[in-house]
Structure 1
Amino acid sequence: MKSFRRAAVLGAGVMGSQLASLFAGSGIKVELLDIPGPDPKEPEGIAKQALKKLKTQKPSPYFHSSHLANIRPGSLEHHLERLKDVEWVLEAAPESLKIKNELYAKIAPLMSDDSIFASNTSSLSVAKLGEALPEKLRKRFFITHFFNPPRYLRLLELLPHPEADIKANSAFFWFLDRHLGKSIVPVKDTPAFIANRVGIFALLDALALAAEFKFSPAQIDFLTGPLIGRQKSASCRTADLVGLDTVMAVVKIVREGAPDDPRPDRFTPPPILQSLVAAGKLGEKSGGGFYRKEGDEIFEADENQNYTKRKKMESPLLAQAGAEEDLVKRVRLLFAAASDPAGAFVSRHLISVANYAAALSGKICDRPGRIDDALRWGFGWQMGPLELAKAVDCDLLAKAAAKFSIQAPNLPEKIESGEPGPILLPAKPEKIVAQNKEATLLDAGNGIAVLVFHSKLNVIGAGILGLAHKALEVVKTDFDALVLANDPQAEAFSAGANLGWLLMTASEGDFDEIALMIKKFQAVTEGMAKAPFPVVAAPFGLTLGGGCEICLAATRRVAHRELYIGLVETGVGLLPAGGGTTRMAEKVAQWAKGGMLLPHLKTVFENVGLAKVSTSADEAFAMGFLQPEDLAVPNRGRLTATALSQARLLADAGTTSKSSDKIRVAGKNGLAAVETFLYLMRESKMITEHDAAVGRSLAKVLCGGELPGEPEVPREYLLQLEAEEFLRLVGMRKTQKRMAHLLKTGKPLRN
């Protein structure tokens, strides 16, 4: 398939500059063009300024800062001739048909005969836009609607011009999927397409219901956020991030462009939205919208646009629902309590959104599953409105609808997901080799076994370690390879070891039990490293502490590009003891290649001692958590399939892990160097005395203790040393306070 090497982005605004960054991170040389800057000597000034802003944006729009070198700023008036050399031109100009038509007239004569032309419009008709293009360019014209921020959101709504040659441009679709990592949802030429249309309807419906129930913005967000499987920013916070003026623009587009909309009543903006926009309170960009931050505190707008303390939602029902981890069971609890205000609100809202989505199926897309895909990939919903309604139970929905005298959703019989990779769980009984509450071992076919974690945040406890140990034994006789692949839609591959259990056990003084757990953890990671078959880990998202240690022990890692991996144990006053510190000592020796150890010891000590976490797979390669032979997969939906195919390839090639029986360490000279580093950090008040104590324990393992010279020590010696130092640290009161504080607040304690 063709790989695009040169592209141009026309428009260096917030979205255009981020798209340029995304393309640059995929190896594309990008021309970023905008209107000329005020200085005639620097016509590319606006585009240049946009590049500078990328460096300060949070979250970061690029995978690695070096990628920005692939972007060349320019001016639409002075550098249009550069378009002759590009293979893809993406227009990200303001949402004005007049502005876009004028731009199209300028660039059409300059484009090569086989280059792709696309618009990132979120609202304009592809047929209308195409009227300004010559016939030959309409065959290569598409709307590619990326979602903001484009690095992090998977969704790309794709709409070809009616005259576009789909077959001739199949390489373009393949590139969007495999290289840019986008999950493509084909849409029809209707106002606001899919995700914005249904997503904005959900916001408007929540606001309308809240007016009936007298709920505040914070209460709306509590009821329409993670409680019902939606993103943390929920409704009002999302609107503030997007911009209330942008929300109103979408409302206007649908109201004027879709006279047949099934719920026109909802596209009359509620009073609170109208009044906030009229007052210029447009959300985060204006300093306040539904919410306003004052110092460290966040206030919410009341019906008079005054900012007051946020109101809470508390009730026995919500406490019960909040304790239920399973989304479908949680929603059923709320539906079953329709007499409770929270239950009534959620029931009516979910029925309303499901009704709306069902009514639009076939009108805005070719099949109902596309709507669910768009909301999951574009808005971060755990389940789309149709699949959630169906999973909750049609009879339960019908009873609730009858109670509130509203129409029950007419759900489609079949809702097919466009998720490209295999769905591991729930699995057919015949595919389950072994299972417990924390993990499942599956037969994935083709000689591959898959171990799937399913504890909360996939934290590693006795259940996972027990089944991992069993998997290593089973695969020896019954399979060719083992893959560690968790649900790629989850937030974390693994957030680490079970800190709650560790704190409770340490508080009770049962250090023998902790020593036994360390022994089991090391047995699993060493078993993986020495297995007579390949072990492939497929990390994504949060891969911290013990989750990182598991991955480091694998033969290969097939990682999603959004990988936040690190050995973070020092943050709670501990060190990696599942073989992780030993593996990092081995890394020092490998990097030194028989030469000086100290420079590499410094790098590893800083990464582990300061609990550094990569912000991408690109950074993970640089930090040593991924190896040159590992793979980084752009499309999260293809992660599991890629890991399975890699495992098969490795098994066919007879590839297994290689670990050293002896490891060269820096000894007392290394300890002295680390001690100097800790002293300087302590003197500059960058670390506390307890941080220094933890650092010394870490250094002791990495350096092999007070040994003369740079001796080679047995691997088992370092494993024993890391276990001893872990047990010593976990018994300290300050370490236990750190663990307790993190569990309670989610934030580290510097004591």
Structure 2
Amino acid sequence: MTALPTSALRIRKAAVLGAGVMGAQIAAHLTNADVETVLFDLPAKEGPKNGIVLKAIENLKKLSPSSLADKDRAEAIIPANYEENLDWLRECDFIIEAIAERMDWKLDLYAKIAPHVSPTAVLASNTSGLSINRLAEALPEGLRHRFCGVHFFNPPRYMALVELIPGRATDQAVVAGLEAFLTTTLGKNVITARDTPNFIGNRIGVFSMLATMHHTEQFGLGFDVVDALTGPAIGRPKSATYRTADVVGLDTMAHVIRTMAETLPDDPWHAHFKAPAWLTALIEKGALGQKAGGGFYRKLGKDIVVLDVAKQDYVPASQQASAEVAAILAIKDPAEKFARLRASTDPQAQFLWAVFRDLFHYSAYHLATIADTARDVDFAIRWGYGWKLGPFETWQAAGWQQVAGWIAEDIAAGKAMSTAPLPAWVTDGRAGVHGKEGSWSAAEGKYKPRSHHPVYRRQLFPDPILGETFDQGTTLWENEGLRLWTLGDDGVGIVSFKTKMHTVNDQVLDGLQHAIDLAEQKLGALVIWQTGEPFSAGADLKGVLALLQAGKFDAFEAMVANFQRTSMRIKHALVPVVAAVRGLCLGGGCEFQMHSARTVAALESYIGLVEAGVGLLPAGGGLHELALRAGKANPADPFEALKKVFETVAMAKVSGSALEAKHMGLLRESDVVVFNPFELLYVAKKTALALAESGWRPPLYERAIPVAGDVGTATFRAQLANLQAGYFASEHDVAVATRIADTLCGGAIERGSRVDEQWLLDLERRHFVALAKTEKTQARIAHTMATGKPLRN
């Protein structure tokens, strides 16, 4: 493993100051990562002194998506208040303040806590844009070298970006230690930002929203039209601009704009740092967005309506991009796309060009003062705002000099939002800001490579910037379904699927078996890892349905048997096979990881045996493995261990995280959870090597598995009858679930009987084929393929 730097920051216990939306969620994510966390707030005026924090912890359980990777972890957060518990801070290695964005409030709090902070603790502020150096002035001089900004984006569990902002006095060892902790322990993508207002992400991101609002007014477009133009059509999230503002809160948006106006008086774009009249009017009416029931959008019955400024009323939200602009946005070549946008007379095209032009102009003008390199700006926007490409990447892909010339022309013609000239480096003939030598640092006038921090050695395939490539390893063998390859000379083979959504078909099944054969001959271990998400969406339903509709049931059963054979080959390989899971891991993909020697799963892994949703049951050995585990967990009464997994499989439940998958019985306690997905392959390879070095032997074939038998199946049937009687389950739902129950319980045999693994596999396969032959199951498969949604029939 990569050695920890000598300045490694050891954090056993943390404190979060402020139990508001951000503070509570930061506490939740620290707890997700097994960091003991104390959550502070003001003492409640009535009831228990910790009432405010206790309410915040309860609210965490209700959030969707959940900030807790495992809801039971809410109980691990320690409630505290500033009146009674400040002494607890002495035990904390990391203290992060996350109260409201008021400089005076933060300074008062720092004065209160400073005497109680341990001499070795790191203190941080989660401010989204206030000066770190100004905040540091409130601290005793001995604390300032251990103070900095650590800005999480909302929601902290899911947003990858954390901005790390050192102050003038911050010790570099503290910064390096925090970067490693945030990256590996909390799974974040860290960018070091300068102490300038709003740092990098919000400085550029909020300006982009301001520019969009300005041009919305200038070109007279509706809010729904703008959202149609500034969402997925240009590689940005579905929430686009005005839906995002509604989610953030219009009052929050106005506050950020005011902050920019107050803290950036000399910015050449300062005249535009003000809320449009219609935004102010909405706030005055209390229409603050989603939290207030409406803002730019409002739900009216089942319909979504949008504010029409001219009518001063809400109208149906239905407008989309014009035919001309939709055709332009469909062009794949970025250079042609931007040329067509700029040349078009369509107001929507002119709007889009203007928004991009002013974003590029602003980003280039401020690069030297706000960020070390252009890479930091692009990653901040990608990781913090969910864009596919950052502003500089978008510009470079469209042809740097061509676009620079157009921007300069528009500045000269008075069309741009500011008359500030482009920096000289922009038009010096360069092809862009990202290249083989690294990314452009405007402050230093040179290209700079990625960080050499030791923590990044763990990222074998980091998130690439535009044009960046990494060693793709050496191919040992491949077929149409997968590739077997190595990276380096550690003796670990890597298997990556080549199918769409990494689904499992005959080529994948045959390929996996052959890859294991080769690994046993030439390698020490094997890792199943995909070059992107998902791990696997399960079996190739298209191929399944084709065989069924053609009536080729023998071929269909042979395919199922091959699936089972592949899972068992994974389990009984003479080299350890480790599954490296990230994103969706469904159906057959879940079964593969269940049979692996070990699973290394990224926290954001959504794992499930979902076959019941299409009228089938898991038949790649999944039910066989669950029955086997139940028999081992409780040999005297396997039924007890089956209760939870039966519900999980019969209801096609998918875990909300890797931690939750452990509770559901889909991951083992011995399986490893990795918080940073870019470290997944590194950890999986090290895990596989450790197993190999420890003298790995596959588990013995089980010949005497205790099962719950017909009594167990009957008990499950009784539960199903109640569900059907209450109209919670259809007749076919019950038929599917009954076959799942029969397989898990070992079939129509006496309770406590002992069976071997092949018995369970045969039972699983028979039930699967029987269900697949039914019209209702075939209808479910066809419907899911056509719509992506389950059919209840």
Instruction: Give the alignment's TM-score, normalised by structure 1.
Output: 0.90
Instruction: Please give the per-residue CA displacement for 1:219-273, whole angstroms capped at 9, x wherever unaligned.
Output: 3333333333322322222221111222222223233323454655654444543
Correspondence 1:135 to 2:135: no
Correspondence 1:378 to 2:384: yes
Correspondence 1:16 to 2:23: yes
Specify the alignment match of 1:636 in structure 2: 677
With over 3 angstroms needed to count, the CA separation of the structure-2 counterparts of 1:628 and 1:42, relative to structure 1, is closer
Correspondence 1:423 to 2:464: no
Instruction: Please give the per-residue CA displacement for 1:378-399, whole angstroms capped at 9, x wherever unaligned.
Output: 2223333333443455477579
Specify the alignment match of 2:563 in structure 1: 521
Whole-Å Cα distance in 2 between the matches of residues 539 and 112 of structure 1?
39
SS of alignment partner, residue 711 of structure 2: helix
Specify the alignment match of 2:728 in structure 1: 686
- Shift in Å at residue 92 of structure 1? 1.4
Matching residue within 13, 23, 40 for 1:6:
13
- Mapping of 1:335-734 within 5 angstroms? 335=338, 337-338=340-341, 346=352, 349-350=355-356, 352-391=358-397, 393-394=399-400, 411-414=432-435, 415=439, 421-423=459-461, 431-434=474-477, 439-445=482-488, 446-453=490-497, 455-487=499-531, 490=533, 492-592=534-634, 594-658=635-699, 660-662=701-703, 663-734=705-776
Specify the alignment match of 1:192 in structure 2: 198
Contact kept, 8 Å, 1:27 with 1:70, in 2: the verdict is no
- Shift in Å at residue 48 of structure 1? 1.9
Aligned residues: 743
Whole-Å Cα distance in 2 between the matches of residues 190 and 298 of structure 1?
39
- Shift in Å at residue 167 of structure 1? 1.7
- Mapping of 1:323-342 within 5 angstroms? 329=332, 334-335=337-338, 337-338=340-341
Instruction: Please give the per-residue CA displacement for 1:352-395, whole angstroms capped at 9, x wherever unaligned.
Output: 43444344333212122112222232222333333344345547
User: One-letter code of the match for 2:653?
Assistant: K
Instruction: Please give the per-residue CA displacement for 1:545-577, whole angstroms capped at 9, x wherever unaligned.
Output: 222112112111111122221111112211112
- Shift in Å at residue 116 of structure 1? 1.6
Matching residue within 106, 109, 133 for 2:112:
106
Whole-Å Cα distance in 1 between the matches of residues 735 and 719 of structure 2?
13
Larger deviation, residues 290-299 vs 432-441: 432-441
SS of alignment partner, residue 557 of structure 1: strand
Correspondence 1:286 to 2:292: yes
Whole-Å Cα distance in 2 between the matches of residues 595 and 188 of structure 1?
63
Contact kept, 8 Å, 1:144 with 1:158, in 2: the verdict is yes
Correspondence 1:69 to 2:107: no
Whole-Å Cα distance in 1 between the matches of residues 649 and 265 of structure 2?
59
Matching residue within 290, 310, 314 for 1:307:
314
Instruction: Please give the per-residue CA displacement for 1:79-134, whole angstroms capped at 9, x wherever unaligned.
Output: 32332332222211211111111111111122222222111111210111111111
Whole-Å Cα distance in 2 between the matches of residues 7 and 17 of structure 1?
13
- Shift in Å at residue 321 of structure 1? 8.9
Whole-Å Cα distance in 2 between the matches of residues 437 and 373 of structure 1?
34
Whole-Å Cα distance in 2 between the matches of residues 91 and 549 of structure 1?
43
User: One-letter code of the match for 2:35?
Assistant: I
Whole-Å Cα distance in 2 between the matches of residues 659 and 229 of structure 1?
50
Instruction: Please give the per-residue CA displacement for 1:471-491, whole angstroms capped at 9, x wherever unaligned.
Output: 223323333222122245x4x
- Mapping of 1:36-75 within 5 angstroms? 36-39=43-46, 42-75=48-81
Contact kept, 8 Å, 2:473 with 2:485, in 1: the verdict is no
Larger deviation, residues 568-577 vs 697-706: 697-706
SS of alignment partner, residue 777 of structure 2: helix
User: One-letter code of the match for 2:141?
Assistant: E
Instruction: Please give the per-residue CA displacement for 1:198-227, whole angstroms capped at 9, x wherever unaligned.
Output: 222222333344445554333333333333
Specify the alignment match of 2:282 in structure 1: 276
Whole-Å Cα distance in 1 between the matches of residues 336 and 558 of structure 2?
40
Instruction: Please give the per-residue CA displacement for 1:62-83, whole angstroms capped at 9, x wherever unaligned.
Output: 1223322332323223332332
SS of alignment partner, residue 539 of structure 1: strand
- Shift in Å at residue 716 of structure 1? 3.1
- Shift in Å at residue 631 of structure 1? 0.8
Specify the alignment match of 1:93 in structure 2: 99
Contact kept, 8 Å, 1:291 with 1:301, in 2: the verdict is yes
SS of alignment partner, residue 581 of structure 2: coil
Specify the alignment match of 2:87 in structure 1: 81
Larger deviation, residues 719-728 vs 279-288: 719-728
Contact kept, 8 Å, 1:372 with 1:417, in 2: the verdict is no
User: One-letter code of the match for 2:369?
Assistant: K
User: One-letter code of the match for 1:207?
Assistant: M
With over 3 angstroms needed to count, the CA separation of the structure-2 counterparts of 1:526 and 1:177, relative to structure 1, is same
Contact kept, 8 Å, 2:164 with 2:179, in 1: the verdict is no
Whole-Å Cα distance in 2 between the matches of residues 115 and 714 of structure 1?
56
Larger deviation, residues 571-580 vs 672-681: 672-681
Larger deviation, residues 444-453 vs 529-538: 444-453
Whole-Å Cα distance in 2 between the matches of residues 402 and 465 of structure 1?
57
- Mapping of 1:210-229 within 5 angstroms? 210-211=216-217, 214-229=220-235
- Shift in Å at residue 442 of structure 1? 2.8
Whole-Å Cα distance in 2 between the matches of residues 521 and 43 of structure 1?
58
Whole-Å Cα distance in 2 between the matches of residues 729 and 330 of structure 1?
47
- Shift in Å at residue 691 of structure 1? 0.7
Instruction: Please give the per-residue CA displacement for 1:469-510, whole angstroms capped at 9, x wherever unaligned.
Output: 44223323333222122245x4x3222223344345434444
SS of alignment partner, residue 17 of structure 1: helix
SS of alignment partner, residue 75 of structure 2: helix
Whole-Å Cα distance in 1 between the matches of residues 23 and 336 of structure 2?
44
Contact kept, 8 Å, 1:228 with 1:331, in 2: the verdict is no
Percent of aligned positions that are identical: 37
SS of alignment partner, residue 74 of structure 1: strand
User: One-letter code of the match for 1:486?
Assistant: Q
With over 3 angstroms needed to count, the CA separation of the structure-2 counterparts of 1:631 and 1:524, relative to structure 1, is same
Contact kept, 8 Å, 1:180 with 1:634, in 2: the verdict is yes
Matching residue within 156, 159, 164 for 1:153:
159
- Shift in Å at residue 740 of structure 1? 3.6
Could you tell me which runs of 5 or more consecutive residues in structure 2 were left unpaired when the two chains were aligned: 1-7, 417-421, 440-448
SS of alignment partner, residue 494 of structure 2: strand
Contact kept, 8 Å, 2:103 with 2:135, in 1: the verdict is yes
Whole-Å Cα distance in 1 between the matches of residues 549 and 28 of structure 2?
48
User: One-letter code of the match for 1:574?
Assistant: L
- Shift in Å at residue 465 of structure 1? 3.6
Contact kept, 8 Å, 2:305 with 2:315, in 1: the verdict is yes
Contact kept, 8 Å, 1:228 with 1:330, in 2: the verdict is no
User: One-letter code of the match for 2:524?
Assistant: D
Contact kept, 8 Å, 2:166 with 2:195, in 1: the verdict is no
Contact kept, 8 Å, 2:30 with 2:186, in 1: the verdict is yes
- Shift in Å at residue 628 of structure 1? 2.1
User: One-letter code of the match for 2:650?
Assistant: G
User: One-letter code of the match for 2:474?
Assistant: K
Whole-Å Cα distance in 2 between the matches of residues 335 and 703 of structure 1?
62
Specify the alignment match of 1:25 in structure 2: 32
Instruction: Please give the per-residue CA displacement for 1:186-205, whole angstroms capped at 9, x wherever unaligned.
Output: 10011111111222222233
Larger deviation, residues 411-420 vs 622-631: 411-420
Larger deviation, residues 402-411 vs 359-368: 402-411
Correspondence 1:252 to 2:258: yes
User: One-letter code of the match for 2:383?
Assistant: W
Larger deviation, residues 395-404 vs 407-416: 395-404
Whole-Å Cα distance in 1 between the matches of residues 117 and 751 of structure 2?
65
SS of alignment partner, residue 261 of structure 2: helix
User: One-letter code of the match for 1:614?
Assistant: S
